[in-house]
Amino acid sequence: MKVDRFVSVVAPLHDDEEIVRSYIKDTVSILRENYTNYELVLVDGYSRDETVKRVSELLAEYEGIRLLRLSREFGEEIAITAGLDTVIGDYTIVMLPRMDPPDVIPEMVSLCIDGSDVVFGVRRTREGDSWLVNIMSPLFYWYCSKMLRLDLPQNSTQLRCLSRQALNAITQIKDSYRYLKLFSTFVGYERREFIYDTVMRGSKRGKRGLFQAINQALAIIVENSSHPLRFVSWLGLFAAAGNLLYVGYIFAVYFLKENVMEGWTTLSLQGAGQFFLIALILTALCEYTGRVLNRLRDRPLYYIMEEKNSSVLLIDKERRNVLEESEHVDI
């Protein structure tokens, strides 16, 4: 028996011509079997291959599909944001076509209907990451939890189901740096984890390298906490206190000891230490200044170049959240 809910699915695409047909077939089949109304929103992040052509061909074959083409490559998180801004469902699924199985959709939506506003996916294994990333990630999650007070579920993925209330709250966040995993916890609604096994569609196996992971970790820390800046501030304060003690030591040596020789090594170490701290402080200040500059620009997060819809309509035309005609009411 079909559930009387409108379910939206958002999936970002980028050079996915080899897997997009099978993904659409499997996803639409699951949606068709379980829900009276649904939509599959595919957001293409400026693919260089035949992804858009493949999807355009399938629009005449499958119902309830929308294709959004971004004007350039904005990244996966921005592509997901573009999809979330346009969905109309009671519940919205976010998934990555290459790693998330569509057959988990009914269970996740069921958990949302039962009272969880955010159901987030947690993978059983970290397949797809390099061994260095697997070693360093527990330390990063510990730092976020204990030092930054950021609630980031370990091993969580982009897969999640959002209620309309949670989705509306997330779309109100206009930060230039998008990180859906953190936004889902930031809004504070009832959450529940969903443990699942990822799949690998297609032949492309892009492992996330250490430098890519470090860059993302730094962005998360800097965008969501002033802790690094406070840390280097304390370093500067301790360095200043050490300098005062060193000045006292110099005066003591000058007045109490005869034939004082210049301490070239000591002076060199002091100079090197001071320049190191100054450079560290400037690095943190420059990083935060750059982030503030990006926010002051107040540019749109993305631009949509083209939008296409399925030529095949859903059987049930009495869709939720869709008004063909509005009524004027005088108040």
- pLDDT value, residue 123: 85
Question: 114, 190 in Cβ contact below 8 A?
Answer: no
The answer to whether the predicted template modeling score (pTM) of the entire model surpasses 0.75 is no
Q: What is the mean pLDDT of residues 61-83?
A: 91
More confident residue, 54 or 315: 54
Tokens of 103: 């057959």
Q: What is the mean pLDDT of residues 169-191?
A: 80
Torsion sign, CA atoms 318, 26, 63, 98: positive
Q: What is the mean pLDDT of residues 229-236?
A: 70
Q: Summarize pLDDT for 263-275 with one digit per residue, the tens.
A: 655 765 677 677 7
Torsion over CA of 279, 280, 284 and 289, rounded to 10 degrees?
-10
| CB neighbourhood size of 163 (10 A) | 22
The candidate with the shortest Cα–Cα distance to 81, out of 21, 41, 24, is 41
Residue 210 has pLDDT above 80, yes or no: no
Return the axis-axis angle of helices 210-224 and 131-146, rounded to nearest 10°: 10
| CB neighbourhood size of 6 (10 A) | 22
Residue 291 has pLDDT above 80, yes or no: no
- Please give the Cα distance from 102 to 96 (Å, whole number): 10
Q: Summarize pLDDT for 152-163 with one digit per residue, the tens.
A: 777 788 899 999
Q: What is the mean pLDDT of residues 220-225?
A: 68
